[in-house]
Structure 1
């Protein structure tokens, strides 16, 4: 195999090499069935065993919280933006949203269309480069839920702790940092995450929800958009993205092998610390974008002294095998997405390259 790229893509993103190799070995003939899992009926016993195993393994990694169900959905987080208000906002209610950046804004706009939306707090005054102080977050009196985006991939910010929503269900979009660190799932009514950053390939969206929230949905919304449809059918109401779910199960096995959430968090903090320390110690040649107290351990955003220098950096990096370092088109700059599957060695190589570039161009 030729040398693998240093993959810092924001999503779809790096997958563990060990998972790819296991999937390669099982690709043509899965469990001596004479078929790839991609070819199997989702109603068959072999596929259903993988499906159920993935659900159980995910809850196990989260400490086996009581009363929660894992759903495998389609349509990415973007479909969840619409499903959440459609399923949970009743007449006279609103969804309360903490506005932290681009993805929170997308969720908020869908809620305005599908039900009603309220701003519980915002960091717009800081150009979304910080997470609002938890003490400033106030849900509306008629809030059906409080919604947060745990990690903003574009701005590079992340909650260090989550707000206490009291009796109001706390809902979180964790697409870009799920299973990157330990957290108490019992604090949440519902969590959703597109798989393509930390859980597996694109095509499947994971929902982890309290069963009491999703057991009954309004009969006025389309069947396929009702949480209770998927809950009552074990996410098998329609054909699921079976191969993506198989890959999620393999990634979850790999996370177990890394020591679970505690082990993976330690590795992630080491990677993030290496980059942020390099940026902060570069005498201004590189500068972090997000406020230090809100920095993400998944998406490291940074700038240089000019856009021309940033373009030179990206071009030179690509020649050395570094992929995905250009910042999002909406904000520019530079970004290294260092999700679970990005090895420390790749981050160390990037740090060394940054040091070399500064010495030759500074």
Structure 2
């Protein structure tokens, strides 16, 4: 009688590890996929930081690393926002330098008062980071204070040298801000759209592509699936953050927040529609394909109005109450119709 062959007990763990590896690789690809405008942002930051460091190394500017660091911290929604953010950072640095010089003039001679000056300075820096909405402005004061502490702990230098190094510390940041602002203005001449409009336009384009493929009875290719899945996973938090940091009026920010929320719902519905069609074997009815094409045309009009910086035109879907074999189409029609209405409230 033949004996049974022993089973390999380690096959299941190896399969689980393989599945976990595939999931982790897919997760990394999703998380690291560039969002619209990321290449432009990275290019602007890299060029600005490189120019700053060339200037610092050429002229041997003390504490020049801070100039390169603050090319990363200022906002880049538009050139005006960059300029205002840079001015606020410079003001915060000069406030930090005044606090430093005033504090050391009064408290630096005695070890106990010197210690209290360090503690109070760090407390104020962290407190400002906690309460000031603009992180770049808040952290500027802290960088100035934290950079001055080791300068005034250096006993081998005389007072004049330490004051000079403190002033150099305050001077380097305006250099970095000036270079970053000039780079922003040059890049905006080449690429005039903002990160906010890029994000909205790309999401609308992804939804439109899904609908046109369905309406044309075409299979969803890999690029369309990748984009709609990416934006469904990413959500709209970055768009909301750009709005909160923008220089628009509070009323317009509220309107745009409503439109962005509807846009996120539209993207989620398109992603759910894609998943639904993957599990369907029956063809899409002609009436639903026509509705998909009509909805795609409406989204294309919304996109065109956005790029032209015009208020979206009102949308009237007379078929929203009709039944559909595609469960998400009526909801997407109602959502698209609400986007122009968010700007009329």
- TM category, shorter: under 0.3
Normalising by structure 2, we get a TM-score of 0.25
| Greater share of helix | 2
Higher relative contact order (CA 8 A, sep 6+): 1
| Greater share of strand | 1
Q: Which has the larger radius of gyration?
A: 2
Normalising by structure 1, we get a TM-score of 0.24
